[in-house]
Amino acid sequence: MDSAEKPLIVQSDRTLLLDVHAPGAEDARAAILPFAELEKSPEHIHTYRITPLSLWNAASAGLKPQDVVTALATYSRYEVPAGISAGFADTMARYGKIRLRSSSTEETELILFAEDELVEKEIAAAKSLGEYLVKAEKGFTLKLTNRGTVKQELIKLGWPVQDEASLREGEALELGLREILPGPPGKDSAHSQFGDSSKGERRPFVLRDYQVEAVRSVLGQGGPGTGFGVVVLPCGAGKTIVGMAVMAQLKTNTLILSANVAAVHQWIDELLDKTTLRPDQIAEYSGDSKSVAPVTIATYQILTWRPDKSGDFPHFALFRQYPWGLIIYDEVHLLPAPVFRVTAELQAVRRLGLTATLVREDGAEDAVFSLVGPKRYDVPWKDLERKGWIAEALCVEVRLDLLDKLKIPYAVAGKREKYRIAAENPLKEEAALELIENHPGDHILVIGQYISQLESIAARLKAPLVTGKTPNAEREKIYTAFKKGEIPVMVVSKVANFALDLPDASMAVQISGSFGSRQEEAQRLGRILRPKENNNSYFYTIVSRSTVEEDFAANRQKFLAEQGYRYSIQHWEAT
């Protein structure tokens, strides 16, 4: 291949620009994905960044600095900038300098080794580690329960730990996936994978190629340093399937942690539909029910509940008192800080994190790396869209004027009140109704931030409204009716952001939202990404023109463009 045709441009600030139309672009993407994080993926040029965390991810997967240099040199259109390869070597060399192993003499202790004497002295001098480590003849000893805390503190100092201590097997549980059929992308195989359990359908489903790769990336060959990590897949791509496939491989008691009760019920439905587990082998642990079985699905909310702010978390006992062999962290980007604490104790248990984005608003990605595990698998949204595994999303921002009588109150309002006035612009309801009328055959979600606004539009649409206060039983009835097509439009509050199983939604109308949270935008878009008959989905956001909403909307426009979605702006006039 001529150098001028090569697909990659390597820059001295460690950003990589991938020309997706150049020959060899797919091979180049596969080569750099293990050591570079995808940041932007618009139509023509995808941007990746090499960071210390991405290089440690690569080192944990067995890559050497020379592998990184070779990949860059092979696909780079221009000469790789001098000096950055030395930086790769220095950073990657930090992974493996510190190793954590089981003690040969004491079951409740671990041994921390530093291969370099200077590194050992740095560890010994670190005040944050003083209460956890005891100097031994060689290395340090630490209590088994401090395994995660020590790893977390060390990565803050720039030293990722290579954890080779043994993992416990947990209690054995015989389970498998229902019949799996290989198949190509497309609407038939996509539909058969998810089926419709609400109609009693139990058809064989497709385990997709990328799902198989994701499972292999976490479990590896079963040796030290495998059996834990994070899988990043877009909403609608079947992260639950990956979790169940890992369970079927390990065949052990499993604790699944999820975002809310609706997600708990989704997991239960999927497990009963797609595995050989019996109903009596699956339990719900939430505010509604606190049962325990070989496979238990719990909410983050119940685990982090405590009677007062200074008290203990009574439900943490769920982690410690049962012989779990696997813990699955669904929506791991939402993992609450208190659960990090108990996760730090559970480093002897195999761990799987599932998420559509590793972006955390608290910036705690390094904590996910240390306590749940390194990122093992990632794939761009647009790659799956091109192959037909998720729907093509058409994103439109509708801008309309603020109602005349609100312009003066808006002008004199404070910043927070300005946002609410703009968000609750009554003209948004008229625009939403018109959009819905223009899509008579779609299953539509109307999503918003403010309950009074949602109550008004739900009444006008004669559509059900689901909020955080909707009883779980009523919520489930509405979801089931929506999936069956009995309800064409559903109005939902922020409960739509996370872990709702709405596979038939083909259109979303966002009438208010934070517009500043990348998590929220990813999750709301994910509501409509299941494959469809025509494989098109529509994502509308209604914004008040010349208000602070436009500024916030710029964040979503940037995010969607970076993910590769075409984004258009329409200006509507009030009639």
**Per residue, what are the HEC states of 10-56?**
ECCCCEEEEECCCCCHHHHHHHHCCCCEEEECCCCEEEEECCHHHHH
Residue of 399, 353, 358 lying closest to 372 (CA atoms): 353
Cβ atoms of 152 and 371 within 8 Å: the answer is yes
Q: Cα–chain-centroid distance for residue 453?
A: 29
Residue 112 has pLDDT above 60, yes or no: yes
Residue 112 φ/ψ, nearest 5 degrees: -105, 120
Those residues whose C-beta lies under 8 Å from the C-beta of residue 352, and which sit 6 or more positions away, are 218, 228, 229, 230, 231, 242, 243, 246, 326, 327, 328, 329, 372, 373
Beta bridge pairs of residue 489: 444
> Are the C-beta atoms of residues 542 and 370 closer than 8 Å to each other?
no
Is the per-residue pLDDT at 94 higher than 50? yes
Q: In this model, does residue 200 exceed pLDDT 50?
A: no
Q: What percent of the chain is modeled with pLDDT above 70?
A: 84
Length of the chain: 575
Q: If you search the block for the tokens 């719900």, which residue do you land on?
A: 284
CA distance 405 to 407: 6
DSSP code at position 427: H
End-to-end CA distance of the chain: 58
How far apart (Å, rounded) are the C-alpha atoms in residues 557 and 395?
A: 9
Residue 162: per-residue pLDDT: 87
- Strands 228-232 and 375-378 turn out to be parallel
- What mean pLDDT, rounded, does the chain reach? 83
Enumerate residues 6+ apart whose C-beta is below 8 A from 54: 35, 36, 37
Both tokens of 575, joined, read 């009639």
Indicate if the pLDDT at residue 66 is higher than 80. yes
Q: What's the rounded mean pLDDT across residues 540-561?
A: 79
Q: Which amino acid makes up residue 233?
A: L
Closest among 371, 334, 366 to 351, alpha carbons compared:
371
Residues 11-30: tens digit of each pLDDT: 999 999 999 889 998 889 88
pLDDT at 344: 75
Q: What does the alpha-carbon distance between residue 393 and residue 566 come to, in Å, rounded to a whole number?
A: 8
Which residues are CB-contacts of 182 (< 8 A; sequence separation ≥ 6)? Answer: 206, 207
Give CA angle at 353 (352, 354), nearest 5°.
120
Smallest CA-to-CA distance from 248 within 302, 198, 205 is with 205
Nearest 10 degrees: Cα torsion 59, 61, 66, 69: -90
DSSP alpha helices (H): ranges in 195-335?
209-219, 239-250, 261-274, 300-303, 317-320
Of 218, 477, 225, 419, which is closest to residue 328 (Cα–Cα)? 218
Q: Say if residue 533 is exposed, middle or buried (CB neighbours under 10 Å; 0-12, 13-18, 19+).
A: exposed
**Inter-CA distances, 507 with 393, 510, 512, 558, Å:** 9, 10, 16, 21
Give the whole-angstrom CA distance, residue 314 versus residue 285: 13
Distance CA 247, CA 233 (A): 18
Write down the residue that tokens 């671990």 correspond to: 110
Q: Which residue has the tokens 């291949």?
A: 1
Which of helix, strand or coil describes residue 189?
Answer: helix
- What is the C-alpha R_g of the chain? 25
Q: Is the pTM of this model over 0.75?
A: no
Judged by average pLDDT, the poorest of 56-70, 180-194, 392-406, 445-459 is 180-194
In 254-374 the beta strands, taken as DSSP E runs, fall at 254-258, 282-285, 295-299, 326-330, 350-355
Three-class DSSP category at 146: helix
Helix axes 65-75, 25-32, angle to 10 degrees: 160
DSSP helix/strand/coil, 193: helix
Q: Which of 78-87, 308-317, 453-462 has the lowest mean pLDDT?
A: 308-317
Both tokens of residue 490?
Answer: 């559903």
From residue 28, give the alpha-carbon distance in Å to each of 2, 51, 224.
Answer: 15, 18, 29
- Element holding 232 (H helix, E strand): strand 228-232
Quick: pLDDT tens for 205-252: 678 889 999 999 899 866 666 789 999 887 778 899 999 999 999 999
Question: Residue 364 pLDDT more than 90?
Answer: no
Question: Is residue 190 over pLDDT 70?
Answer: no
- For the stretch 220-232, pLDDT in tens is 866 666 789 999 8
- Amino acid found at 337: A
Which strands, in side-by-side order, build the sheet including 228-232? 282-285, 295-299, 254-258, 326-330, 350-355, 228-232, 375-378
Cα gap 126→153, rounded to integer Å: 9
Quick check: 183 pLDDT over 60?
no
Closest CA relative to residue 543, chosen from 398, 396, 394, 411? 398
Q: What is the pLDDT of residue 198?
A: 42
